[in-house]
Structure 1
Amino acid sequence: MINLIEQWLHELTVQHYKATTIRTYHQSLQPFLAFLQHANIHDFDKITRQHISDYLAKRIDKDKMAKVSVQHELTVLRQLFHWLIKNEFIHQNPVLAHKIKRSARNLPTLVDIDTLNQLLEQAEPDNAKQRQLWLRDKAMFELLYGSGLRVSELVGLNLSDINSHDKLIHVIGKGDKARIVPIGRKAWQALQNYLPIRQTWLKTSSSAVFISQKGERISTRTVELRIKHHAKRANIPQTMYPHLLRHCFASHILSGSGDLRGVQELLGHEDISTTQIYTHLDFAHLSKVYDNAHPRSRRS
């Protein structure tokens, strides 16, 4: 079974899946393999629907895993067993009938335009070194909010992904799905201010857009720390994090356009139900406006 899994993961590598995706798939399968070993099952063809049910129940009830995490493991299993069927290593797929009922999804927290401006339009630091860092960080934040990028997509950007003529970015998102997103005027200007600084930091022929002062591709953790740093510098009381800017992008675009399908494309959501959460956010905002403004809406 381990050999077959390695063969499957190798095929995904050939298909240009990201190394991080391959590692995640490999890690997700380890508890399942341990479960099979404990059940004395050494052949994929011996796995039944009941085995899958027992495994999922164990992960939720005994291991106390969050349903969203177990759903991810189930998704990985579906892909693996689909490949096993396709290549005739097994004759029946025991995973097909299984679904996990999702918990109610919490609405993401948003911040208003004034708070975003407070972050993005804050004064440059007086210190020359800190000023350079701020110009890089501002370019990152403007892209997160202006183009709706995930932080992993931001740090993965290469110079070749930027279409300077049309001001577009080629983005590789979840599941290695590609999409094209526009670069807004503010984000474009922020990029132009940062790129000359990038050249002074460059030590090798790195293609990464966003690099550290050592010339290395920046990490997602660094982006998280930098946005917290600048939120504190701007005296913003709310907790700021990279994905919050993506949430704001989606909500503000949807509020201004009403085009749910368009927002889905810009965000790179495979399922429109994922995008629909922002319609609830917009309605929640309208309800709040109504409650605060309408004389007959107020209740004791």
Structure 2
Amino acid sequence: MSAELAEVTEAFLQSLAAQRLSEHTIKNYRRDLQQLLGFAGRESLTDWAVLSSKQLRKFIAENHRSGLSARSIHRQLSAIRSFYRYLVRQGLSEHNPAVAVQAPKTEKRLPSTLDVDQTNALLDATPEDTFVASRDRAIMELLYSSGLRVSELAALDLRDIDFAEQLVHVIAGKGGKGRIVPMGRQAINAIKHWLEMRDRRGFFSEQALFVSQQGRRLGVRSIQQRLSYWGKRLGISDKVHPHRLRHAFASHMLESSGDLRAVQELLGHADISTTQVYTHLDFQHLAKVYDAAHPRAKKRS
């Protein structure tokens, strides 16, 4: 390993410390650049200015083959780009070889979801005998029934619920786009029961659909905390939060209907590729359909 390369690298890390970056960030930069130093030694480099994009692609490929995750490689390339921006500013390099190098695509994190039995257990076991319990039951039923984002649910007003048509008017959707989605029978019954409990408190002037015991609109954080509470109380093995009920809605709808475009509309996704992430959740169901329907897949009796 060239002492000159190591000296320049250390100067860069010291400059990060001077910028008051966190110790954790600097530690990551140091580890990534130490790996690059090792590669530079194997390539017999004595000047950072001569490292080419082709050589850097070789370095990335070696790391990928050795099992380094795409996410870690993204972080590594980010560190190298920052390092070379420093070198260019210092007049130690005329180019940044990392600009032309792309990391492997990261795998999309698949959304965790509740299966049908878990969802039914959560909803059916939540009581409706108190103001808070009745409200929380209505919240969960509506999240699962209509696939709402928690921010959309928190923003709902009384006028947004159409019992006659069994619809929810989502005004504050993501990106400011509204949509209309159906409500199921269980959600309608739960909301009606909640409104009876609410009226007993006399909160007639507040337009928000879901309110606290003080009669104020319930916020996103409070809704998250209430679902977590019921998940723990009812012994649901996995953590319960609003987005998991939205995931459950999407995956269960896809499993039953197979209509990706309809689920896209219900979820309010601008791009169908966002909805496609849910297709993995019903893969076993699709595999069974394939085995039963495809002429060359049918098992012999």
- Distance change (3 Å), C-alpha of 1:123 and 1:100: same
CA distance in 2 between partners of 1:237 and 1:284 (Å) = 22
Task: Give, in whole Å, the separation in 2 of the partners of 1:286 and 1:260.
Answer: 13
Task: State the structure with more CA Rg.
Answer: 2
TM-score, reference length from structure 2: 0.59
> SS of the counterpart of 2:137?
helix
Question: Residues 155, 101 of structure 1: CA spacing in aligned structure 2 closer, same or farther, 3 A cutoff?
Answer: farther
Tell me the secondary structure at the aligned position of residue 121 of structure 1: helix
Q: CA deviation at 1:134?
A: 0.8
Matched residues in 1 for 2:281 and 2:115: separation? 12
Report how far residue 289 of structure 1 moved.
Answer: 11
Which amino acid is 1:153 matched to?
E
2: distance between equivalents of 1:137 and 1:228? 11
Shift in alpha-carbon separation, 1:170–1:102, aligned structure 2, 3 A: farther
Corresponding residue SS for 1:197: helix
Q: Which blocks of at least 5 consecutive residues in structure 1 are unaligned?
A: 1-56, 65-98, 291-300
C-alpha contact (below 8 Å) 1:110/1:244 kept by paired residues: yes
Cα displacement (A) at 1:102: 6.3
The 1-side partners of 2:230 and 2:278 are apart by 26
What letter is aligned with 1:109? S
Alpha-carbon RMSD: 3.0
Shift of 1:287: 5.7
What residue number does 2:145 align with?
Answer: 146
- How do 1:242-281 residues align onto structure 2 when only pairs under 5 Å count? 242-281=242-281
Distance (Å, rounded) in 2 between the aligned partners of 1:146 and 1:254: 14
User: Following the alignment from structure 1 to structure 2, what is the Cα–Cα distance between the partners of residues 204 and 135?
Assistant: 17
State the Cα distance separating 1:234 from its structure 2 match. 1.0
- Structure 1 match to 2:16: none
Q: 1 CA distance for matches of 2:183 and 2:273?
A: 25
8 A Cα contact 2:127 2:137, kept in partner? no
2:238 matched to which residue of 1?
A: 238
1:104 alignment partner AA: E
How far is 1:237 from its partner?
1.6
Structure 2 match to 1:119: 122
Map 1:173-252; keep pairs closer than 5 Å. Answer: 173-203=173-203, 205-252=205-252
Q: Given that residues 227 and 240 in structure 1 are in contact (C-alpha distance below 8 angstroms), is that contact kept between their aligned partners in structure 2?
A: yes
The one-letter amino acid of 1:235's match is G
Query: Are the aligned partners of 1:201 and 1:212 in contact in 2 as well (CA < 8 Å)?
Result: no
What is the CA–CA distance in structure 1 between the aligned matches of 2:157 and 2:274, rounded to whole Å? 27
Q: What's the CA shift for 1:147?
A: 0.4
Structure 2 counterparts to residues 7-156 of structure 1, below 5 A: 61=78, 103-122=106-125, 124=127, 131-156=130-155
Cα distance in structure 1, aligned partners of 2:202 and 2:277: 41
Separation (CA, whole Å) in 2 of partners of 1:251 and 1:117: 14
Asked if the contact 1:201/1:214 (under 8 Å) is kept, the reply is no
Cα deviation, residue 138, structure 1: 0.5
- Corresponding pairs, count: 196
State the SS of the aligned residue for 1:106.
coil
Residue number in structure 2 paired with 1:83: none
TM-fit CA distance, 1:164: 1.9
Q: Which residue pairs with 2:164 in the alignment?
A: 165
Partner amino acid, structure 1, of 2:220: T
Rate the CA distance shift 1:162–1:235 in 2: closer, same or farther, 3 A: same
State how far apart, in whole Å, the 2-side matches of 1:228 and 1:113 are. Answer: 18
> In structure 2, the residue corresponding to 1:276 is in which secondary structure?
helix
Residue identity in the other structure for 2:200: T
Distance in 2 between residues matched to 1:103 and 1:174, nearest whole Å:
24
Change (3 A) 1:215 1:177: same
C-alpha contact (below 8 Å) 1:204/1:215 kept by paired residues: no
Q: Tell me how far apart the structure 2 counterparts of residues 174 and 240 of structure 1 sit (CA, whole Å).
A: 22
- Residue 246 of structure 1 deviates from its aligned partner by 0.3
Q: Which deviations, in whole Å up to 9, do the C-alpha atoms of 1:176-223 show, x marking residues without a partner? A: 101100010000000011002222345572210000010100011111
Offset of 1:105 from its aligned partner?
Answer: 0.9
